[in-house]
Structures are given as structure tokens and as C-alpha cells.
Amino acid sequence: MKGVFKGIGLLVLMMVCSAFLLAGCSEEKSNTIKIGFNLPLTGDIPEVGEGSKNAAEMYLKDINDAGGLDVGGQKYMLEFVYMDNESKAESATNVALKLIDQENVVAIIGPNSSRQAVPAGGTCNENRVPMISPWSTNPSTTLNRPWVFRAAFLDPFQGPVAADFASKKFGAKTAGVIFDVSNDYSKGLAEIFKTSWEAKGLGPVVAFESHGTKDQDFSAQLTTVISAKPDFIFVPDNYNQVALIIQQARDLGYKGPFMGSDAWGTPDLIKLCGDDCYGNFFSTHYAAAGAKGATKEFIERYEEMYGATPADYAALTWDSIGMMIQAIQNAGTVESDTMAMRKAIREGLSNITSFDGITGSSKFDAQGDPIKCAVVVRISDKGEFVFEEAVCP
Amino acid sequence: MDFIIQNILNALQWGSFYALIALGYTLVYGVLRLINFAHGDIFMVGAYIAFFVASFLLGPAIGLSPFLTFLVAVPLTMFLTACVGVTLERVAYRPLRRKGAHRLYVVITALMCGLILEYSNLAVLGASRLKFPELVEKSIWHFGDVTITNLKVIVIVTAIAVFAILNFIVTKTKIGMAMRGISYDKFAIPLMGIPIDAIIVFTFILGSGFAGLAGLLFAMSYPVLEPFMGMIIGWKAFIAAVVGGIGDIRGAFYGGFLLGFIEVGVVTVFPSTYRDLFAFTILLIILWIKPTGLFGMPQSTKI
């Protein structure tokens, strides 16, 4: 009996040792380029993480099936490392550190939401690792951070787009706002919207109410908003909260329209919200219905592989990877030293002056922020996101 | 005026959920002197059970109408959630009680059970949220600027009815007398020929069953389900029960509504950032003045 245990113990020891040896082997290989992904796979917005991961897997397959990425005449395989930031700000910085120190990635894509991208951007900038946030629209993500880039437009652009559209479409004079005070994205956009609405001089923002991330009952705030009788309500919130807010507002007798922001753009919004959401509008990065060219091709391939229409974050992740690849090719060589490679990629990124992606073409300003068009989308009676109009800077 | 009445209705609905959950805390504490920290998560499990029961009944295999589904889902959800509560008692609390473990360890076990429920849900069902189907066709009634939905009425009436039923069971029936007896002295009670384990199981059936009912109604009112939905509301309902005087059924009921009114009141007057700060400061002041809670009495028979 004792012998058996000894045998098993030895076997386990051997397996552990060989695992270390194998790990050592893969360290030696220098013909792979390792890129980290900082994604919300669980927590408040799991759909966002999943969609981004799907798009990344598709890109990875394309490159590696073709024999790898051609940099300076040599082929390199890509390796993507996905880590879950639980949709939390503190976990996002932990994931960034883990990707940098343990996984030794040369660059990071993500986090998506500003709530995680703002702190994680700081971490990446301090550690001198290039980072692209696909979906973050808050200005602080890239502000004074030479190592941080993004693929989405900014809230100072999106806020006025929403304000202009609502005043034109609904003929609105007054606006109500309800937002998540503990979310950088929601709070920042609500404030920018308020400023740009009041700058238009039509009428005031009659109600400006906040709530917390974990709240499920918004009736007190909505009662205040509705009693101020706004012409429409602006809700720059995540899709899961939007579903509850709109339903509760209807229960409290509000019949007017809602205007949303790019965080609405998830197929899950329709699943959770149902027909309460139909007929409302939101500003976003692209409209899947009626797309053309490379965008259409991407959407069809994605639908074939995953059985769902890709949301804006999936398309933006695709574009972020494209930018990253272009930066690596701009760098011209692949350094075996990670630090040197990171520096080369940053140089490559800052040398991109314009980029034609599937979410439209963009130019980059000195801050690393793209200047690109926004799209306003209407939620149809079938729950589809239908193109309404494009607004360019 | 309409504004105030509307907010009172909002607070009544929100307070109903606190009251329903707080009743479960107080029952178990009253009998066992155990704070069942897993109770908020049993509420969450109740909401998920309600989701699966409703989807099954509405689905092609059975195909009931939404209203019939609601009528069948209420007892079924309560029964299945009660089973979960009893299983917890069997697996986690009873072995510890048999071994004569200190109450502290049982409380820690309860916390742990809550986490196990949350994360096993996350592991099995994933992080994606579920949409609860609409069971009761919603009608919105207008009285001037005040609106109320039939669902709101159902929730408030249920909370009051559950309180009345529990109050009756505990004060007027034999089994209620046995529960109070265990609360008074759980070593002497078996000598009277009262099956103490059966009474404890009954307590868990009551507490968890009504948590299941609360979960069903909550899922109907806020139809977005996620694995951690029971955590914060469970803690808050526990605090409400303590402020009411934990172990006392009236205390849980009034404490739940009190917290609902304070929270809605604070949000109405101040920005929502102050909601929990002010709400819990007020509760803290109440405990300063009366450390045993509103209806509590120091070290006496409760429930």
C-alpha cells in the first residue's frame, strides 16, 4: 500500500517538474507575439466581455491560420491572453498588472468600459505598456497618458450629438437626466450632456438625478424626474440598468421618449427590456443593420460563428486589434526583449495618423484619441438597431 | 401633494421586500439565536427558482397562460425554496448544532453558505442576466398625477398578509408556542416531549418559503436577475430586522418598512449618493437610543 502511494507521489512530482520544463520551453520561443485582453467576462456587463472575446478569437484564427503575422519579412504567431476584470475598477488594475508582470504581454487591449479603463489606463501608463481601450469614451482614459490609446469617440463629442438629435427629433425644450453616479462613464457623459444642452439655450435640464450601480429600484428618482415634466429623458446607463429604468418610468406613468448612449448597444438590452424599449434612440459607434463592405463581411462572419449580431464593442475590439497589428508592422521588427518591444509598439501606435476600420475611418489627435463619426440608432418594433443618422465632427 | 403620495407608494413597495426578507431573519434568530446570513441568498435562489418554474410552465411542454402560471408558481416556488432552506439546515447548521459548536461558528458557516449559493449560481448559469417573463398583465391606474400598478398592490398586500399569517402562527398555534418555547430554553423543551428538530425544520420552511415568495415578487417587479442580487438587499433587510428588534416579528415588519421609507425619502430630498449614508446613520441613531431595537427587549423570549 505504502509503495502505491510512493509511486503516485513520484508520478505527481514528475508531472509537476515536466510542467515547469514545458513552461520553460515556451518562454524560450520568440516567434510568438503575446497580447493581453482585460475583459469584463463576469460582473455587471458580461456580454461586453464575451462579445469582445468572440471578435478577438475570430481575428486570432484569421492570422494564425494564415501562418502568422508578417513583420519585416518574418512570420510570427499571435497569442491572446484573456483575463476577467469582473467589471470592477480595482480588478481591472489587478488584471493589467498580472498581464504585464506574469504574462509578460507586449500590449494590452481593454478594458472596455470607462469605469475600468480609467484606472487600468493609469496602471499601463505607469508601467510603460501600450494599451488600447476599444469602447471607453471618457476623456480621462487617455488624457496625459502617452501609452494609452482608444478606438471609440469621446463623450465630449457624444454628449452634444445626443443633445442635438433630441432637440431636433423630439422638438424638446427641456430634458431630464438619470445616471449612475459611481460609474465614470455614466457620470461624465451626464455632465457633458447637461452642459451642452444648456449651451443650446432652449430650456433647462429640469431634473438631474443619480443612482448607484447596484440599485434596482429607481422609483424615487424617477418620480422626481417625471414630476419635473421633461420633454425627454436622457439615460447614459448600462443596458441592464436601462431595462429597469425604462420599465419603472412607464409604470410611473411617463409616456415620453428616452435618449440613450453607446452603452445601450447590446442585443441583451432587447432581451432584458422587451417592448418597453422599442421606438427609443441612442447614439453609438456603428449600426449593424444595413452595413456595407468590410463591416458587412465582419457581421456575417460573426453571425455565422456565434449565432448573434456583433454589438459595437465587438466591432471596436476588432478595430483595436487591427490598430495594434498595424502598430507592430509599423515597428518593423519584433524585439525579443519585452520592454523594447513595448516601446516599439507605442511608437508604432503614435505613428498611426488615420485608420480605416469596420466602425468607420478615424484620424488621431495628439492625445491618441480618434476623431470619427457617431451614429444614432433607433430601436425598431422588432427590437433591431436601425440606422437613423450619422453625425460627423 | 401628488408627489408625496407617489413617493409613499414607492416606499411601501420597496419596504415590502425588506419586510418580507427581514421576517425570515427574525424567525430563524428567534428560534435558534442564529443569524442566518445565507437568507439573502436564499431569496436570490427563490427568484431563480421562480424564473425556472415560470419558464417551464409557460414553455411548450405545459403551455399555461401567464396568470395560471403565476397561481401555480407561487406555491411551487415557495415549496422548492423551502427545500433549499431545509437542505442548508440539514447540511450546514444541524451537524454543528449536534456537536455543540459555539454560535459564532454557525454564523460564519451561514456567511459561507451564502457565498456558496452565489458562486455556484455564477458557475452553473454564468454571469449573463436573465429576463423574468411577465406573468401578471400590467395595468397602470392613474389618480391625478399618482400612478399605481396592480403589481405594486399585490406586493404590498402580500407583505401585510405574510406578516399577519406569521404573527398568527407564532402567537396562536401550538407549533408557534413550541417555537417560542425553544427560544426561551432549548435544553428544557425536549424534556416536555417536543421534537426540537422538527420545530427547527418548520422554522426554516416558513422563513425560506416566504423568502421564495419575496424572490418571485421581486423578480416580477424588477425583472432582471443576477447571481448577486440577494447580497445587498439581504444585508439591508438584516439591519432592518435588527433595528426593529431582531427576533420580534412586528420588529422585522416595521423595521423593513422603516428602512424603505428612509431610503426613498433620502433619495427624494438629497442626491442618491447620500442614500445609504443617511439611511444607516438614522438607523444607527435609533440603535443608540434603543440598543435592543424598536420592539426588542433585553434577553427575553422573543418571536
pLDDT, average across residues A12-30:
53
Which residues in chain A are contacts of B129 at CB distance < 8 A? 46, 240, 268, 272
Residue A24 phi, psi (nearest 5): -60, -40
CA angle B168, B169, B170 (to 5 degrees): 95
Strands (E), chain B: 130-131, 140-143, 146-149, 224-225
> Which of A220, A240, A274 comes nearest B267 by C-beta?
A220
Helix (H, G, I), strand (E, B) or coil at A233: strand
pLDDT, average across residues A345-349:
91
Which residues in chain B are contacts of A254 at CB distance < 8 A? none
Contacts (Cβ under 8 Å, ≥6 apart) of A75: A31, A67, A68, A69
Q: How confident is the model at residue A13 (pLDDT cuts 50, 70, 90)?
A: low
Residue B302: pLDDT above 60? no
Q: How confident is the model at residue B156 (pLDDT cuts 50, 70, 90)?
A: very high
Give A79 to chain B, closest Cα distance, Å: 25
Rounded Cα gap, residues A201 and A208, in angstroms: 17
Residue A244 touches chain B, beta carbons under 8 Å: yes
Q: How confident is the model at residue A27 (pLDDT cuts 50, 70, 90)?
A: very low
End-to-end CA distance of chain A: 77
Bridge-based pairing of strands A175-180 and A232-235 is parallel
Give B187 to chain A, closest Cα distance, Å: 43
Q: How confident is the model at residue A354 (pLDDT cuts 50, 70, 90)?
A: confident
**pLDDT tens column, A307-320:** 888 988 999 999 99
Query: What letter would DSSP give residue B138?
Result: P
Counted residue by residue, chain A has a size of: 393
**pLDDT tens column, A188-202:** 999 999 999 999 888
Q: Do A210 and B272 touch (CB under 8 A)?
A: yes
Residue A23: pLDDT above 60? no
Which residues in chain B are contacts of A217 at CB distance < 8 A? 10, 13-14, 222
pLDDT value for A30: 62
**pLDDT tens column, B28-54:** 998 888 889 999 999 999 999 999 999
The answer to whether B181 and B42 have CB atoms below 8 angstroms apart is no
Q: Do A240 and B226 touch (CB under 8 A)?
A: yes
> Which of A219, A240, A253 comes nearest B129 by C-beta?
A240
Residue A203, CA distances (Å) to A64, A150, A207, A235 in order: 56, 34, 12, 18
pLDDT value for A207: 93
Which residues in chain B are contacts of A214 at CB distance < 8 A? 232
End-to-end CA distance of chain B: 38
pLDDT value for A24: 46
Residue A265, CA distances (Å) to A242, A277, A299, A375, B130 in order: 11, 12, 15, 11, 17
> Which of B222, B264, B271 comes nearest A216 by C-beta?
B222
Whole-number average pLDDT of chain A: 88
Residue A109: pLDDT above 50? yes
Give the cell for residue A268: 441583451
3-state helix, strand, coil in chain A (%, to 5): 50, 20, 30
- Which of A6-15, B131-140, B211-220 is predicted with the least confidence, judged by mean pLDDT? A6-15
Q: Do B7 and A223 touch (CB under 8 A)?
A: yes
The enclosing H or E element of A89 equals: helix A89-101
Q: How confident is the model at residue B189 (pLDDT cuts 50, 70, 90)?
A: confident
Rounded Cα gap, residues A8 and A18, in angstroms: 15
Q: What residues does A175 pair with on adjacent strands?
A: A205, A232
Residue A31: pLDDT above 60? yes
The answer to whether A175 and A156 have CB atoms below 8 angstroms apart is no
The answer to whether A150 and A367 have CB atoms below 8 angstroms apart is no
Locate the chain B residue with the closest alpha carbon to A182.
B273
Reference A51, options A314, A299, A249; nearest CA is A314
pLDDT value for A101: 93
Residue A2: pLDDT above 70? no
Bridge-based pairing of strands B130-131 and B224-225 is antiparallel
Counted residue by residue, chain B has a size of: 303
How many contacts does A have with B, using Cβ atoms within 8 A? 89
Complex ipTM more than 0.85, yes or no? yes
Residue A360 phi, psi (nearest 5): 105, 170
The pTM for the full model equals: 0.84
Give B172 to chain A, closest Cα distance, Å: 36
Residue A9: pLDDT above 80? no
Q: How confident is the model at residue B292 (pLDDT cuts 50, 70, 90)?
A: confident
Residue A18: pLDDT above 70? no
**pLDDT tens column, B207-241:** 999 999 999 999 999 999 999 999 999 999 999 99
**pLDDT tens column, A119-131:** 999 999 999 999 9
Locate the chain A residue with the closest alpha carbon to B227.
A43
Q: What residues does A39 pair with on adjacent strands?
A: A84
Helix ranges (H only) for A109-263 are 114-126, 155-169, 184-200, 219-227, 239-251
